Structure formats: structure tokens, C-alpha cells
A and B are shown apart, each in its own frame.
Chain A
Amino acid sequence: MSSPLSAPSAAPASRPRPSRAPAGVRVRPQERGWAPYAFLSPYLLLTSVFFFVPFLDAIGLAFFETNGPRTRVFVGLANFHFLFTDSTFYRALWNTTVFACASVFVQLPLSMGLAILLNSSKGRLRGMLRLVLFSPNLVGQIFVGILFSTLFTPRYGLINRAFHALFGWGLEVWWLSNPWLVMPALVLTSLWVWVGFNMVYFLAALQGVDRSLEEAARIDGASEWQVFRFVTLPSMRHVTVFVVVTSVIGSYQLFELPLALLHSTEGAGPENSGLTLITYLNNVAFHLGDLGLGSAVGWIAALIIFFVSMIQIRVSRVLED
């Protein structure tokens, strides 16, 4: 890290001196002029073209019925009326909500637990284990889904064979053809992908906890569990809220994983047991070409996400007090 003042210079006399700033006086940031605008202009330009315009378009698109990108006809609220009377849409909504609950109440405790376990480990071992447990997240959702669709094969797949080898049953369980087992299979797969990911966040948060506070609590006679519940956990508040919010938002956008896992039914699963909100959007908008109905679904998804995020931020504020 070398100071620019020590950088080799050409003939000093030929370098122009900023006329407004005598040497040694700090230049006020306001006088940067065009620079920030220029630096931000690519972002501003791209966002206005490829974000704001589609955003505004999306507001209107939901009130049209389209056949592909070029043809559209105004239908008013008919799209929403259709969605609210469509049993398939409700199934998708239900499935996605169940998955979101599972990811908060099953996945996050596991991530937290692993983070706690890993926190007490020494440096090198911790680094290695963190790498191992995080690695599934590197693989794209599509690839994970493809891999696990073969692991869930009855009789020959890894999962059934493991159950059979350990417990003596489960060889012929048809995970992906049984409507009741599709969601558990999906949840199991998502655990494999995301437990390590959230664990990394929790681990970083744990390492940022003030040790002296914990020590003080222990000296005061608190048990380990009490230390954890009343000192450690509250100081991880921010990260926990962040992880919960991102988990729920991610759950409501789940698409590629069930699509690949249930590829034989294009993501829907037997009796639509694996259909998620975004899979429904994809089928409607891009298989059937009705981008208007797809936009309507997208709006409902966005509103749900917004709603849930607001609730959680509220809850976290309440927890804070």
C-alpha cells in the first residue's frame, strides 16, 4: 500500500495543480462536480431502461391478457379474478407457504446449531468444515435438483439405500411420485443446499459476539443455555432477522429446484404437490404465453414478500425492545 505521494513522477513542473486547492488544504467533497454523476450514469441508465420501464410495464401488464410478447388485449381485473378462483393457484400458494415455514423452522435451527458447534472448533478444522458444509451452495439449484432426482429413485437411489442400510426399511419409497412425500423431499434437498449457507452467516455473527458480556453472565451464575438465550442470541439479532427475511423471500421465489427435482412433471409433481408460486408463473407466462396473467401472479408474489418482510421487521423491532 504505497502512498500516491511516493509514486514516481515525471517532471513535477509539468503537472497541473488544482487551482482551487492550495497544497495542504483538504478539498471539500461537494466540489467534485461531474464525477459522481458520471460514475453513476451507467447504473442509472441501465436501471431506468431495464428495471423501471419493465416495472411500470408490469403494473399495466397484469391487466392484460397476452399471447406472447406482441399481442395483448385489455381484460381489467379478469386475471386476478381468475387467479382467485383457480384451485391450482391456491395449491401453489399453499405449497410455497409450507416450504417457507419449513425453511424458517427446520432449516434455520439446524444452521444455528451447526454454527454453534463449529464456533467452538479450532481455526483450521473450522475453516475446513465450513468449506465442506458450504460447498452445496456453490452448485446451481438446477444441478442440485437434477442430482437429487436421481438420489431419490426408489430401490437404487442413494437415499433409499441409505435408509435401508441403516434402518432396514425404505427401499421402495416412491419419494417423487407420492404426493405426500414430494414436499418432504423438496425440504430435504433444500436443507442440503442452504443449511451451510445460513450457517456461515450465523458463524460470522457468533464470532462477533462480545465475549466479555458472556463471561459476565457466566460469572453471575447463568447456565450455558441461559447465557446463550439471553446474551448471545440477542446480540445476533441483526443477522438472525436478516437470515429469516432472506430465507422467506427466497422460499417464495423457489422455482429451479422443484423444476429440476420433479422434471418428469415439469416442476408440478403428482397432483401439483410440488407446484410453487413461481413455477405457476413460469407455466402460465412462458408455456402458455400469457404474460399478463404471469404479471398478475408476479404482483401477488411481490405483495406477499413485501408483507412478510414488513411483519418480520416489525417483529424484530419488538424483540429489540
Chain B
Amino acid sequence: MVEKFPYGKAPFWLLAIALASVAGRWLVMGHGDARADLLIVANSPSHFEAYKNAVPRFERKHGVHVEVQFAHWTALQSRLESAMLAGADVPDLVELLEGSLGFFTRGPREDVGLLDLADRVEAEGFDRRLVASRLSSWSTVDGRIYALPNDVHPVMLAYRRDLVAQLGIDVTKLDTWDAFVEAGRRVTRDVDGDGVVDHYMIDLPYDGNWALTSLLLQHGGQLFDRAGNIAFNSDITTEVFAWYLRQTHGPRKIAYDAGWGQALGKAMVDGLVVFYWAPDWRSRFFADEVPSLAGHMALMPLPAWDKGGRRTSVWGGTGLMISRRTPRPDLAWELAKFLYFDPTEMGKRFEATNIIPVLRDAWTMPELDAPNPYYSNEPIGRMYADLAPDVPPSYVSPLTAVAGTELDEAFSRCVSYYERFGEEGLTDAIHRELSRAEAYVQRLAERANWMARAP
């Protein structure tokens, strides 16, 4: 039979394989499991575990079947958007990363595949019950709220208490960055004369990255303002840039880039760096990765930019969005509230991750006052919760990603300038780079036909 096939042997077998594989696909794919009532996708392994453990209680209470899945953010973002635009099947709830909302809201309102939660949030009073500034990351300029914030992530400084005592630093006096830098300059030097600096005051990445943004937000700067206009070309940004350049690249720098992972752990244990940027989630990270320092670490609020100013900032965040085409929006809303605001869940989450709830009502929970042995028995939950109302907002725009990239590039150029010319003409150089970045983003803003405008 093979020989009589007009096209020959190879095509014959290809045809046979084609038929077999199509049949195989139909058999395998055609009979999937019955679709769950709700499908939720988490983008971090820890959230995935937490939700998987929490969901059975919800299922029992509502008599439904909920499926929890995990997907890497890098793969998820672009595919989710094109699936929503193309009308393909989309999960009911998806966790989004901080700053990514703009990507999904760049088009006209009809194209936004996320359910507008503003009515529900207001009806149930969440705009008052949550730390209000956190809603800014998940709202658009026209007043729609597209995701529920998961967290607050206030930032403190974690430090080696024994080192601080040994070096004669009084942390209660470090209430401004000026005081901090002054103390830092005393500390950051070569003590034993081997030509290598023994202690650096603070861990900051040399290329700016997350720390630059965090400091900028603390100082009241923004990438975009509440009305969606470009806001990063400002005196505040210039001041933050200059300050950061001096502390990381200047002749009297006080910062060292300890990186992540093993390198960071080593820096902490060796005492190479004294102070570390510590949002609530990172405080747990230190405890898990460097257990040998248990009892020697402590936390303090950030020094303020101006006396009496804001003593915390923010770093990172997650939000939960509900798909506009979900067949059961009310049930999805209940699940979102359950996973994010249920008291038992929030208590468990704090104990597992040090992350404090974004719901103010929950700050009465006793877990927050528990002394934390790693951080010298300080009640770190309470400390973070006290700072939480001051956490700065972070307004988001469809151009957030581009602005972030341009700002990084502007900073990198400023580093080159600073290394060549130092303080001379630095302010002007920074202005130039920020203006260039602003112009680039402005071009894109002018192109964007559907960017929601402030009413």
C-alpha cells in the first residue's frame, strides 16, 4: 500500500502521522476536566502556596470548586493582554505586579479586560478601610479601580544592632538623611588599615534601580502625577539623583552594592554593610536567608528627607484583578476579599511572610505585636503598621514601563557624567538627562490616542 501511494514513502508516513496526531490531540484535548467555578492565577510561588492552602475553606463555605494556578509574570503579562484583546479564554482572577496596570489600560475603555471594581470598593467602604495610597497603583486617572491591593509594603531600615553599638551610632538621632549621611561618613572608612573599606553604611545598588524609585517616592516625587502627566522631570528628582550619585559613586560614598543571594548574605554576616533597605517582605527574606544573625538585627524607620517628614517609603506590591468576562463576578469578588482580607488568612500570612495587611481594621490583630526574635524581639508588625498610613502613593500610567526604562538610562548617563566631572555642572547635567527622558516619554504620550485623561 505504501508503494502505491502517489507521492511516495515519506509523504505516506507523514500523512499517517498527521492523522494519528490530530486524532491524538482530539482525544486528549477534547476531554478536559470540567471547568472550575473560578480560576485564579498567582504570579509568585509563595502566593501560590498560600492560596492553595486557603482555598478549601472558601470552597466549603460557598459550595464551589476553585482552581489555583501559577504562572511566571514575564510570560503572563503580554499573553494575558493579547488573549483579552483577541477574545480568548482568560482566567477569572489574576495577580498583577506593581506598576503593570498601565499595560492593561492603555487602550480605550471598552478594550480593558479588567473589571472595574470602583463601585464595589466604595460600596463596602474599602476606600477608607484600606490604606488609601495603595489604591493609587491600581486606579486610572478617570477614577476606575481595576485591582485590589494586596499589601502596603512600608519600608524601614534593617541594621546590625551589635555593629551599630560597636561603631557608636545612635539610631535615634538618625531622623534625617543628612544626619544619616554624616554618621555614614564617619563609619565608612578603612579601620584596620588594609586599604579596603571595612564598613559601609548602607546597601544601595550602583545603578539606581529599585532604591532610586523608592527614595524618590519617599521624597514626594512621582513618575506620573495623579492626572497622568509626566512628573519625573522635577527638582525633587534632581535632588534625589544628586544625593544618590554622591552616596554611591562619590569620593565620600557611604553605600555598597551587596546584590542579592549569597553575596548579600555574606555582606550581612561579615558586617560589610550596616543598614539595609527593608520593606516588610524583605525583612522576612533576611530572616530566612541569614538565620545566623538572629537576635542581632533590628529595624528603624527611614530617615526623612526633611525634618519631620515622611519616614517610610514603599517597594513592590501585588494586586488582584477580576476579568471583565468572568461568568461569576460576584463570586470572584468574594474570593478576592477572602484571600486578601480574611482575618485568619491575613494572620497566617503575616506569620509566614512578615507582610502586614493593607486593611486597617486588621491592624488590631495580636500577631502584629508579637516580639520578633530575629529582630531583637521588636514588635516589627506594629512598627510597620505604624508607618503604613504614611506610605506614599505610586500613580500608574500606560507609560510607566517606558518611563522607568528612560529614567534608568538617564541615571546611567548621569553616573558617567559624575564620574568624569564630579560636582561641576552636575545639577544642569541631571536636568538635561531628565528633560531628554521626559521628551521621549512625551512623544509616546502624544501618540497614545486612548490614554485616559483626567476628567
In the complex they form, do A and B come into direct contact, defined as C-beta atoms under 8 angstroms apart? Answer: yes
Asked if B449 and A289 sit within 8 Å, CB to CB, the answer is no
Interface locus among B10-18, B62-70, B104-112, B152-160: B104-112
Encode contact with B along A61-105: 1 for CB under 8 Å, 0 otherwise.
000010111110101001000100110000000000000000000
B414 to chain A, nearest CB (A): 16
Interface locus among B79-87, B313-321, B352-360: B79-87
B99 to chain A, nearest CB (A): 16
> Closest residue to B450 on the A side, CB-wise?
A67
Contacts A67-B106, A67-B111, A68-B111; A78 near B447 (Cβ below 8 A):
yes
List the B side residues contacting A124 at CB < 8 Å.
none
Asked if A65 and B449 sit within 8 Å, CB to CB, the answer is yes
List the B side residues contacting A71 at CB < 8 Å.
107-108, 110-111, 450
Asked if A65 and B447 sit within 8 Å, CB to CB, the answer is yes
Q: Tell me which of A65, A69, A75 contacts B86 (CB under 8 A).
A: A69
Contacts A67-B111, A71-B108, A287-B78; A82 near B449 (Cβ below 8 A):
no
Task: Indicate whether B443 reaches chain A with its CB closer than 8 angstroms.
Answer: yes
Contacts A286-B82, A289-B81, A289-B85; A67 near B447 (Cβ below 8 A):
no
Asked if A67 and B82 sit within 8 Å, CB to CB, the answer is no
Asked if A289 and B110 sit within 8 Å, CB to CB, the answer is no
Encode contact with B along A204-225: 1 for CB under 8 Å, 0 otherwise.
0000000000000000000000
List the B side residues contacting A67 at CB < 8 Å.
85, 106-108, 111, 450
> Closest residue to B112 on the A side, CB-wise?
A67
List the A side residues contacting B82 at CB < 8 Å.
68, 286, 289
Q: Tell me which of A69, A73, A75 contacts B85 (CB under 8 A).
A: A69
List the B side residues contacting A289 at CB < 8 Å.
81-82, 85, 106-107
> How far is B81's CA from A231's CA once the two chains are assembled, in angstroms?
59
> Closest residue to B84 on the A side, CB-wise?
A68
List the A side residues contacting B78 at CB < 8 Å.
286-287
Contacts A73-B449, A75-B449, A287-B78; A68 near B443 (Cβ below 8 A):
no
List the B side residues contacting A288 at CB < 8 Å.
106
CB neighbors of B among A263-314 (8 A):
286-289
> Closest residue to B113 on the A side, CB-wise?
A68
B395 to chain A, nearest CB (A): 20
> How far is B107's CA from A69's CA once the two chains are assembled, in angstroms?
12
> How far is B449's CA from A286's CA once the two chains are assembled, in angstroms?
17
B450 to chain A, nearest CB (A): 6
> How far is B110's CA from A228's CA once the two chains are assembled, in angstroms?
67
Encode contact with A along B106-133: 1 for CB under 8 Å, 0 otherwise.
1110110000000000000000000000
Encode contact with A along B388-401: 1 for CB under 8 Å, 0 otherwise.
00000000000000
A152 to chain B, nearest CB (A): 21
CB neighbors of A among B411-445 (8 A):
443
List the A side residues contacting B447 at CB < 8 Å.
65, 78, 82
List the B side residues contacting A69 at CB < 8 Å.
85-86
> Closest residue to B74 on the A side, CB-wise?
A266
A1 to chain B, nearest CB (A): 13
B6 to chain A, nearest CB (A): 14
CB neighbors of A among B142-171 (8 A):
none
> How far is B78's CA from A321's CA once the two chains are assembled, in angstroms?
54
**B residues near A, CB below 8 A?**
78, 81-82, 85-86, 106-108, 110-111, 443, 447, 449-450
Closest A-B pairs by Cβ, 9 of them? A68-B85, A67-B107, A73-B449, A287-B78, A67-B111, A71-B111, A65-B449, A71-B108, A82-B447
What are 23 A-B pairs at a CB distance below 8 A?
A65-B447, A67-B85, A67-B106, A67-B107, A67-B108, A68-B81, A68-B82, A68-B86, A68-B111, A69-B85, A69-B86, A70-B85, A71-B107, A71-B108, A71-B110, A73-B449, A82-B443, A85-B443, A86-B443, A286-B78, A286-B82, A289-B85, A289-B107
